[in-house]
Structure 1
Amino acid sequence: MQTGELRHLRWPAAAAGLPAAGRLRHLVAGALRTGRPLAVWREPGADHPRLLVARSLEAAYTGLPPALDAQAPAGFAFFPFRDSDHTPALFLPPDVVFDTGQPETVAVAAPARDLVPALTAWLAAAPVEELGWHHSPQPAPHAATRTEYTALVDAGVAAIEAAAVVKVVTSRAARRALPAGFDPLAALAELSEKYPRAFVSLVSVPGVGTWLGATPEILAEVTADGIFRTMALAATQPLTAAVTPRTAIWRQKEIEEQALVARYVVNCFKQLRLREYHETGPRTVIAGQLLHLRTDFEVNLRQVPFPNLGTDMLRLLHPTSAVGGMPKAAALQFIQAHEGYDRAYYSGFLGPVNVAAPGVARLYVNLRCLQLRPTEAILYAGTGLTVDSDPAREWQETELKLQTVAAVLN
């Protein structure tokens, strides 16, 4: 987003004593009260969250994944696992941006200048205790029982044994009651503190709903100095005092699962006839209270003749084999036929494009997330299956993954 396209509004004197978190709450309250889409996020390792508000829902709809280059439109991507009428692909334009690390002003983009009077009223409004978050009008998804999920794993293993798929990722939803007085903004702050290495986000859109999460997995990143990055993240075991990245031992099943995801990324490079990439790993990494195997991939865009590499890779990668399987078409067909619920935005992707600066994009796979309902939260978790998968272990792995975001419901 170009600086010259922005107008910077200063907070009124009445709000001078408000801390940055209070100012963020003011703006979120105004956006929700007027039915506008918004996203709040905190980058891995960052100290402060940012807020983006789109002027209207219509301005947020899109048909294609965002372009990852300096000349592309800026915005916040919020894409489902599968696009549908009730889970549309969204790209929220940065009509209003507030950085809590620089809390003295609020930036307003040129197309949204008509929002200035309303925005001025938001800034001067009285503090709001309860916020009216958006909820999906769709019925809550079916929450699989342990028996149902282990049967799904058995079906996935059978499909692999029959050579219908090489790998498939099965998932389930779980329903949890919201604690009294649950505050999504406070939950976002709690997740940020608990998981400093995660991408922590809170997205609320009229007619779509409100999603909160802390994901460890980069889907596609383009940096200011022209570096494209992605990763292959798979395999899971709990982090304990005895099992750390230095001491972790991985089973053959988990090593194979992660290798398939890495191979999928390499195959995407091959489809683009790109050979100049740097691969590091696999290595054991921490994500919350879990350990995973991760392989990192990096391309210097200034040294290859692929100016649209980031955009092309994004379209090839999603949904990755870490959330779908291999071959992609066959795995997605299995999921649609057997999983028994709509993943919606779980295992889709989200993140800012060209908001911090032109040419800077960071998109993450939407894992370790929950959907906020009026009285409950819908949590999601999945596991990658190979021919050696054990249904009891796969159920337990989903239980461990659910705990990441469920921590804010305790």
Structure 2
Amino acid sequence: MSGFAFYPFQVSEKYPAQFIKADITYSSLSAKLKFNFKLNENPDYVALIQRLQDYFDKIKQSASANNWHVSRKVKPHQTPEIDFKNLVQEGIQAIEAGQLEKVVLSRVRATELLPGFDVMDTFIRLQETYPTAFTSLVSIPDTGTWMGASPEILVQVSKNKIFKTVALAGTQALTPDSNPAKAMWQQKEIEEQSMVERYVLNCFKSIRLREYHEIGPRTVLAGNLMHLRTDFTVDMNQVPFPTLGTQMLQLLHPTSAVCGMPKEPATNFIRQKEGYDRAYFSGFLGPVNINGESNIFVNLRCTQLLEQVALTYAGAGITAESEPDKEWLETRLKMDTMRQVFRTE
């Protein structure tokens, strides 16, 4: 089935998994609509096309009044600096006590939207600012509206049946003087990225997959940041895993890049200590089986839109070498990915 997947960090009654069936798809490259059913089999197709045209006309209008879905399950909130730094310190202590190897801790920041905020203009600005990221705008009744620019592939299956996933971790700011080819990485970032690599490899081992190609780690750019990334590919034409994409999606999520290691104690630590529900932040999203391809990304560098407030989310991987001040700065840099395309005072 073709459609768009939108999954939370953890599926719950409050935050269910969402799948939007692709009855109709639109390509900005071809500027054409594609109907995934025969129009003459739908007696209301004329009315359907008219409603579709009305919808596109509506979203082109200025958003002087809110025209996006708002979740009533969420109230404006944010994480104070002292609370986040104390949380990081607790995470370090848990690691030193042998309870965890790594835990990814996150926070949220609330920003008031200026009068006349235009969601479509903001999304277009996001696309122009981050042309190599997976930019998304998802608006679902009851679930709400989320906008993001993710740098991290979770699962990708091409038309030619090439599977791909990545291990992405380690963060440093991209400055005017930075040369990504000569980027210097501290032991903390190298260790953090190697943990994500091991996590992917363990997923391969659990299904006895040995035929994969690995490239990296190497420095990659993601907006105003640099990361370490290792790419893993599998030719599904040469291995007996016809459902590899689905299998790996189930095994990988949530990855150690958004949760930690070992997975279960890291997840429990996050739920008990983080102080808020991540909802769809650090979940995954993307088109499934569209023109024979699936592209699923981790929902990072994202913002949730409420009526008058934007909630921006970011996390940092905590290891024994972490420093609370530096982890706070890292989350701020990640939040700037989204905040710089919002017009704020």
TM-score, normalised via structure 2 length: 0.93
- The Cα offsets for residues 56-103 of structure 1, whole Å up to 9 and x where unpaired, read as xxxxxxxxxxxxxxxxx1110000001112211011001222223333
Which amino acid in the other structure matches residue 397 of structure 1?
Answer: E
- Decide whether aligned partners of structure 1 residues 400 and 109 sit closer, same or farther in structure 2, where only a CA change above 3 A counts: same
Shift of 1:263: 0.5
Shift of 1:378: 0.3
Conservation of the 8 A alpha-carbon contact between 2:95 and 2:101: yes
Tell me whether 122-131 or 195-204 shows the greater mean CA deviation. Answer: 122-131
Is 1:409–2:327 an aligned residue pair?
A: no
Which of these residues, 70, 74, 78, is aligned with residue 139 of structure 1? 74
CA distance in 2, matches of 1:273, 1:121: 49
Task: Name the SS for the 2:237 alignment partner.
Answer: helix
CA distance in 1, matches of 2:306, 2:152: 25
CA distance in 1, matches of 2:185, 2:224: 16
Conservation of the 8 A alpha-carbon contact between 1:77 and 1:349: yes
Is 1:258–2:224 an aligned residue pair?
A: no
Which of these residues, 72, 80, 100, is aligned with residue 8 of structure 2? 80
Q: Which residue of 2 aligns with 1:376?
A: 309
- The Cα offsets for residues 332-356 of structure 1, whole Å up to 9 and x where unpaired, read as 000001000000000000000112x
Conservation of the 8 A alpha-carbon contact between 1:143 and 1:173: yes
Which of these residues, 64, 89, 93, is aligned with residue 17 of structure 2? 89
- Decide whether aligned partners of structure 1 residues 281 and 139 sit closer, same or farther in structure 2, where only a CA change above 3 A counts: same
Which amino acid in the other structure matches residue 400 of structure 1?
Answer: L
CA distance in 1, matches of 2:221, 2:240: 35
Task: Name the SS for the 2:234 alignment partner.
Answer: strand
Q: Which residue of 2 aligns with 1:235?
A: 170
Shift of 1:121: 4.3
- Decide whether aligned partners of structure 1 residues 147 and 404 sit closer, same or farther in structure 2, where only a CA change above 3 A counts: same
Q: Which residue of 2 aligns with 1:123?
A: 53
Is 1:109–2:37 an aligned residue pair?
A: yes
Shift of 1:408: 1.6
Conservation of the 8 A alpha-carbon contact between 2:110 and 2:310: yes
CA distance in 2, matches of 1:371, 1:335: 20
Q: Which residue of 1 aligns with 2:276?
A: 341
Shift of 1:141: 5.7
Which amino acid in the other structure matches residue 386 of structure 1?
Answer: T
Which of these residues, 94, 98, 110, is aligned with residue 159 of structure 1? 94
Conservation of the 8 A alpha-carbon contact between 1:156 and 1:385: yes
Q: Which residue of 1 aligns with 2:320?
A: 387
CA distance in 2, matches of 1:104, 1:352: 17
Residue segments in structure 2 that go unaligned for 5+ positions in a row: none
- Decide whether aligned partners of structure 1 residues 124 and 368 sit closer, same or farther in structure 2, where only a CA change above 3 A counts: closer
- The Cα offsets for residues 247-287 of structure 1, whole Å up to 9 and x where unpaired, read as 21110001000000010000000001111111110000000
What is the correspondence of 1:9-48 to structure 2 with a 5 Å cutoff? none
TM-score, normalised via structure 1 length: 0.79
- RMSD of aligned alpha carbons: 1.7
Aligned length: 336
Shift of 1:189: 1.0
Shift of 1:362: 0.3
Residue segments in structure 1 that go unaligned for 5+ positions in a row: 1-72
Q: Percent identity?
A: 50
Task: Name the SS for the 1:343 alignment partner.
Answer: coil
Shift of 1:180: 2.1
